[in-house]
Amino acid sequence: MKKIEFNLYNVKKVHFGFGKIKNLNQILNKNIKFNYLFIIDSFFKKKKVIKTIELKKKNKIFFIDTKNEPTTFGIDSLLKRVKKLRIKFHKVIGIGGGSTLDTAKAISNLLSNSGSSRKYQGWDLLKKKGIYKIGIPTISGTGAETSKTCVLIDYKSGKKLGMNSEYSVFDEIILDPDLTNTVNKNQFFYTACDTYIHCIESLNGSLRNPVADNYSNEALKLCREIFNSKNIKSKINRTKLMLASYYGGCAISSSMVGVIHPLSAALSVVFKFHHCISNCIAFKAAKEFYPLEFREFSKFVKKHKVYLPSKICQNLTKKQMDKLYYSTIIHSRPLKNALGKKFKKILTKKKVLQLFKSI
């Protein structure tokens, strides 16, 4: 039997179920002397759910525009605005999709660790635990609610890389499937596929462990039930997806993604595609590494009439080619997980560009 070895970092408190968003006011009222910093997707600016939050004087809300995914520059600018308030915040609360949850995690981390967010992109670089963080996802699939990373793009260096650290795990999460009702169908599918892709990459990799495998298998079972059903957004499917996303995030915390994520990250850096749609596009490029899973995924795309852009890498400039290659190959850990230590022999520049041209 292969040696079993892994480290697990879990969210401490989980509130799960329809209507659980109401628990937020109980949390706020428990410590009335605490100051809370809210980071909320701007989609919710005028929504009823936000109006019901009981705010005190020193609680502050920052609404986040998620048109672009979080960048190191954007996080550093937001941090400056938060610090300018000169308020000692006790808890940071993120309400939104993966972009907003990652922003909340990054701000929480940087309120305790000095310097730019760029300093902490990588593995185990944070020195101290951040401010107590609460995550409330409003779209399911990335697993950001349970994972130990917050992904940031640095356009200067061409890196799309997270602050991978035990300190990036939320302390508490509220999972309320009521909140995902308003997500449009294509977006719902793309983000749901992130769970599917995390789990198939994890199960096909070498850095596996029994806990991650179990989480992945359970998440995949739920994804298949959702994607094989008629209405992926039904009440029961939104509940199932919130569970699957939770499991997927737990799985990936102690295992690793594979070839799709590095290719997807490169597409995000060069063409600014959001993570989840980018994964769906990159899946096609990586189909030779996951042939059975790609066939199943294509069936789901067809069944639910999901829009996916194609032929985006037909007329690349030299600069774009260089960036696509560099931004893929920089992800050595997932690539080693999928292809072994000598992954660069398989993914030569010619091969990487050939994969991109195939989409």
- Count the Cβ atoms, other than its own, within 10 Å of residue 290: 21
Contact between 218 and Zn ion by CB under 5 A: the answer reads no
CB atoms within 10 A of CB 316: 16
Identify which of 241, 240, 235 has the alpha carbon closest to the alpha carbon of residue 189: 241
Provide, rounded to whole angstroms, the least separation between the CB of residue 15 and ligand NAD: 17
Number of residues that bind ligand NAD (CB under 6 A): 30
Tell me, what DSSP letter sits at residue 204? Answer: T
Q: Is 145 in the site for Zn ion (CB under 5 A)?
A: no
Q: Which helix (H) or strand (E) holds 159?
A: strand 159-164
Distance CA 148, CA 152 (A): 13
**Contact map string, positions 282 to 321, toward ligand NAD, x by CB under 6 A:** ----------------------------------------
Q: Is 69 in the site for Zn ion (CB under 5 A)?
A: no
Using DSSP bridges, classify how beta strands 132-137 and 60-64 pair: parallel, antiparallel or unpaired.
Answer: unpaired
Q: Of Zn ion, ligand NAD, none, which one does residue 69 interact with (CB within 5 to 8 Å by kind)?
A: ligand NAD
Pairing mode of beta strands 91-96, 13-16: unpaired
CB of 101 to ligand NAD, least distance (A): 7
CB of 18 to ligand NAD, least distance (A): 14
Nearest Cα to Cα of residue 21 among 130, 141, 180 = 180
Using CB distances below 5 to 8 A depending on partner kind, what does residue 66 bind out of Zn ion, ligand NAD, none? ligand NAD
Q: Which does 143 bind (CB under 5 to 8 A by kind): Zn ion, ligand NAD, none?
A: ligand NAD
Q: If binding is defined by CB under 6 A, does position 142 make contact with ligand NAD?
A: yes
**Applying CB under 6 A, which of residues 143, 177, 205, 262 lies at the interface with ligand NAD?**
143
CB atoms near residue 32 (< 10 Å): 8
- Residue 178 three-state SS: helix
Q: How many residues bind Zn ion (CB under 5 A)?
A: 1
99 contacts which partner out of ligand NAD, Zn ion, none, CB within 5 to 8 A by kind?
Answer: ligand NAD
Is residue 94 within 8 A of residue 134, CB to CB? The reply is yes
What's the N-to-C CA distance of the chain in angstroms?
A: 40
Among 11, 49, 74, 99, binds ligand NAD (CB under 6 A): 99
Site for ligand NAD, residues 165 to 194, rule: CB under 6 A = 179-180, 182-183, 187, 191, 194
Q: Which of residues 173-202 bind Zn ion (CB under 5 A)?
A: 194
Q: H helices of 37-172, where? A: 48-51, 72-84, 98-110
Which residues of the chain form contacts with ligand NAD (CB under 6 A)? Answer: 41, 43, 66, 69-70, 96-100, 102, 138-139, 142-144, 147, 149-151, 179-180, 182-183, 187, 191, 194, 274-276
